[in-house]
Structures are given as C-alpha cells and as structure tokens.
Amino acid sequence: MQYPHPILAREGWPFIGAALAASLLVTYALPLPWSLPLWLITAFVVQFFRDPPRALPDRAGAIVAPADGRIVAIERCADPYAQRDALKISVFMNVFNVHSNRAPVDGRVLSVNYFPGRFVNADLDKASLENERNALVIDCSGQLVTTVQVAGLVARRVLCYVRPGDTLQRGQRFGFIRFGSRVDVYLPLHAKPAVSIGEKVRATSTVLALWPQA
C-alpha cells in the first residue's frame, strides 16, 4: 500500500505537537527571548519529519535510492542476511535529511529481521553490523535485494511497516528512522553502481544502480 504522503511524516506528529505546544505555552507566559529556543527546536523537528512525495526516474529497471543522504560505501562484501557475496551501497543520513525509507526495487518481501545493537556513528563502516538494524530481503524477479535500516548515534528507533509476503513497488515508503542513520543496500554482483562515494542522493528520485540490461 502506498503511503499517502501528508508532507509531514506521521511518525513526527507527536513530536511536532509537543514542541509546538511547549513553544506556545512559553510564548504566552514569558517574553519572546525566553521562547525563541523552543521555536528553533520546533522548526528543527518540523524539518526533520518532512516527508515529500518523490517522482520515480523514467529509466526502466533502475534501482533507486532508499533514502536521502550521502553515499559512504560502494564495495563488494558478504551479505549476512541473504548469505551471498554482494555489492553493498550505503547511504548515510544526517539529521537534516528526510528520514523516510523507500523501496529500491519492485518485489516481494521474503524476510524481515530486526537485530538489537549499539548506536555508534552511522557514518562508520562498523555500524552496518554493530548497530541496531532491520533487514529486508526482497525478491525482485528472481534477483535478491537486501535493504537494511541502520540506527545511528542519535537514532533510537527503527520503524518498518512491511512483513514477509508483502509486495513492494519502487519508491514505496516502507519505514522510517528517527534522528540520523544509514541504509545499506546489498545487490547482486552484476548490478552496476550509478553513484559514487560522497555523492548526495534523494530517495526514490536518484538512480542508485542499474541491472545489466538496463
């Protein structure tokens, strides 16, 4: 089911409401200088939980970015969730990025596995295997694509809304991570990266990689 994109993510409504209420209360009770820090916090919370709709690229067969952020890894390694060698592409999200997570491919969810863990800086390679994370293995027309939500230094909640057997479409919203994190995508080795280290990407609208025939 496609998420209806209310501009502000539903996960943020309680936080936005609390910040707004606190700002209004202090503004009413005290002079403006006292409430200004709370209004700044409210503005930060609103921008963090923004969740704009995104257009899919026209290129057929493109594997799209699962999150906004910066590419921090493109490497061949073991996929510990699908038990295979794979091409891993990692997107690091800072607190100013949109934190809604989108499906990189069309396919059927084979498994969803949550792993408790640490909360080291998600910009570090060891975060992929040490931090709290949630891994989806997706069957994309016989090709396995693993998408892993990884909590970060500040993040304390990984949210995922799909189950094994669910069908995903490219760009479909499947989860959210609060306050800084990363998403790792493990692809078959024959997939061709379409991004480079350090490049900034946007969920759904940036082509992350291509199947050989694309």
209 strand-pairing partners: 63, 193
The answer to whether residue 181 is catalytic is yes
* Residues 174 and 160 sit within 8 Å (Cβ to Cβ): yes
* Residues 142 and 199 sit within 8 Å (Cβ to Cβ): no
What is the rounded CA–CA span in Å between residue 53 and residue 22?
A: 29
What is the rounded CA–CA span in Å between residue 43 and residue 47?
A: 6
Q: Which of 35, 90, 100, 181 is catalytic?
A: 181
63 strand-pairing partners: 209
Catalytic residue set: 181
